[in-house]
Structure 1
Amino acid sequence: MQIAIQGELGSFSHEAALRMANGLEPGNSGSEDIQIVPCFHSPDVFRLVVEGTVDAAVIPIENSLAGPVAEHFDLLLKEEVAIESESQLRIRHNLIGLPSATLARIKRVSSHPVALAQCRRFLESHPEILAVPFYDTAGSVKTVIEKGELSAAAIASRQAADHYGAHILAADIEDNAANFTRFFLVRRADLVRPDREADKVSLAFTVENRPGTLVEALRIFAVEGTNLTKIESRPVQGRPWQYVFYVDYQMATAASADTILAALRRSCSMVKELGRYRSAPMNFDNQTN
């Protein structure tokens, strides 16, 4: 099974992809049957899925602290893909260096800006360490290993340290333990496998720019007794000050989801169902590092 991710091997997306694929593939007992295909840009991830070059993609859609990944919402709407499943991964950040490095020798640390921001207290307690933004958490570990500087370190997952043969100098340095990232596994829309246990729906819609249209759309969910778990707005590309609304809601039955979809299509300018899937539990005991 080939799964595309945005970012380097060893990233949190890599870890999420292995976990999700192992849970989906019958008889799959390990990661040896899964090939992770790293991509530098998110549009490339979706392109590989649509072209059929890979079987699926695993993408982060939102972090419990940093918020949504806006570009991925836009790509879910634009491309002919659908959400097949979701997972929630506990994010644990680690200070990672060369195998022979020590914390006392570190003078510079690099990582994605979000990871640096989530480890602010640790960095403040080590003012001698200069924080340098980098494009990717796992990529920062890769670079540290390639350059071989004992005074350089990275902030990333245990997966990244293991993948690149690096050493964890300080574990669990994130400020907030309630740090989760929600991931979607997406496939080409015509290849998504229906899940009879699906209890959640994601969809996108736009409304006409006149009073009451958004209220009218949201009332449809209330009439059906549906619980909205998320609502997000994004600008419509090329149409200033117009917005597309992304909604997640708890699905009682497939029939009720069909009723909601039909009612929205009658009252909205555009509606696209992004997927019906099983909601993922949030596990505070998740041991991912």
Structure 2
Amino acid sequence: MGLKIAIQGVKASFHEEASFKYFGEDIETIECDTFKKTCELLKQKKVDYVVMAIENSIAGSILPNYNLLRDYKFNIVGEIALSIHQNLLALPGVKLADIKFIESHQMAIRQCEEFLQELPDVKISESSDTAASAAKVANQKLTDTAAIAGTLAAKTYGLNILEAKIETNKKNSTRFLVLSNDVEEQASANKASLSFQTGNSVGSLASILQCFADQNINLSKIQSMPVIGKRNEYDFFVDVEWKKQSDYDAAIRKVLKHSINFNIMGEYVKNDRI
């Protein structure tokens, strides 16, 4: 067996699917109940990498994971964009009319709100993972319960797809980060994840953003998180992309003059192809 990859969730989860897409299938995925557990395993060097979801095109950013990135200070060495199609899964022979309960991860439920609104008499419950919900239906032989999960989960746990592609937006995708204890130099890097704080003065954030614009650096994402215990202070997490390394280097030099607690979380190859 090859690399050990910590994932939140169980076999056939979207995290495992993303791991296979990035590393290939000759890996060992280590199942974890929580994202914090994946980070602990990496910190203890019991795994080689963590694959962590960070944002979904429908449900938005996974904010608690930004706190983990800040607290553990791992290096971001890659990213994966995965097209997400959610399906309603049930035991063979079970019909939609038989379903009284549906369960899945909260992000999956949010992605399927329009479909679920058409089932007002069905109770919706949150679980730790999409594939774990599928496994529960299969293992406990629940004839009144369906799970929202991917096609890999249906195949793995022997469930039928009652309704396919029930996500509200058919261009649903999730971005995952690949985390490592070590910096991995990548000669063709063209994307970086950065974090910093600003001074509490008028235009301080705008000054930093202008530094990127002046050097033709594309700001592909910005996320703010409150600094714990400090009122009106924020950590800013940004993703930037560039075509010329010299432009990026110049932008960083400028940003350093305007920011506080600046940190390069990772420089890696842009990989947003679905």
**Which bracket does the TM-score occupy, shorter chain normalised?**
over 0.9
2:114 equivalent to 1:112 = no
Q: Which runs of 4+ in 1 moved over 6 A?
A: none
**Cα shift readout 1:212-269 (whole Å, capped 9, x = no counterpart):** 2212212211221212111111111221221011111112333333332232222211
2:24 equivalent to 1:6 = no
From 198, 201, 206, give the equivalent of 1:215: 206
Number of matched pairs? 272
Distance 1:120 1:212, change over 3 A: closer
Normalising by the residue count of structure 1, what TM-score does the alignment of the two structures yield? Answer: 0.88
**Aligned-partner Cα distance in 2 for 1:11–1:76:** 22
Displacement of 1:207 in angstroms is 1.0
Displacement of 1:54 in angstroms is 0.4
- Are the aligned partners of 1:50 and 1:80 in contact in 2 as well (CA < 8 Å)? no
- Are the aligned partners of 1:77 and 1:274 in contact in 2 as well (CA < 8 Å)? no
Letter in 2 for 1:155: I
From 74, 77, 90, give the equivalent of 1:81: 74
Normalising by the residue count of structure 2, what TM-score does the alignment of the two structures yield? Answer: 0.92
SS of residue matched to 2:257: helix
How large is the RMSD of aligned CA atoms in angstroms? 1.7
SS of residue matched to 1:10: coil
Letter in 1 for 2:108: A
Displacement of 1:148 in angstroms is 1.0
Aligned to 1:259: 250
From 199, 202, 208, give the equivalent of 2:193: 202
SS of residue matched to 2:81: strand
- Are the aligned partners of 1:119 and 1:174 in contact in 2 as well (CA < 8 Å)? yes
**Aligned-partner Cα distance in 2 for 1:8–1:239:** 37
Letter in 1 for 2:137: V
What aligned pairs does 1:125-136 form with structure 2 within 5 A after superposition?
Answer: 125-136=118-129
Give aligned-pair identity as a percent. 35
2:161 equivalent to 1:168 = yes
From 270, 274, 286, give the equivalent of 2:265: 274
Aligned to 1:286: none
**Aligned-partner Cα distance in 1 for 2:106–2:150:** 15
2:236 equivalent to 1:245 = yes
**Aligned-partner Cα distance in 1 for 2:168–2:204:** 41
**Cα shift readout 1:152-178 (whole Å, capped 9, x = no counterpart):** 111111122222222222211112101
Aligned to 1:28: none
Aligned to 2:152: 159
SS of residue matched to 1:196: coil
Letter in 1 for 2:153: A
Q: 5+ residue gaps in structure 2?
A: none
**Aligned-partner Cα distance in 1 for 2:10–2:237:** 28
Letter in 1 for 2:211: I
Q: 5+ residue gaps in structure 1?
A: 23-30, 284-289
Aligned to 1:177: 170
Displacement of 1:128 in angstroms is 4.3
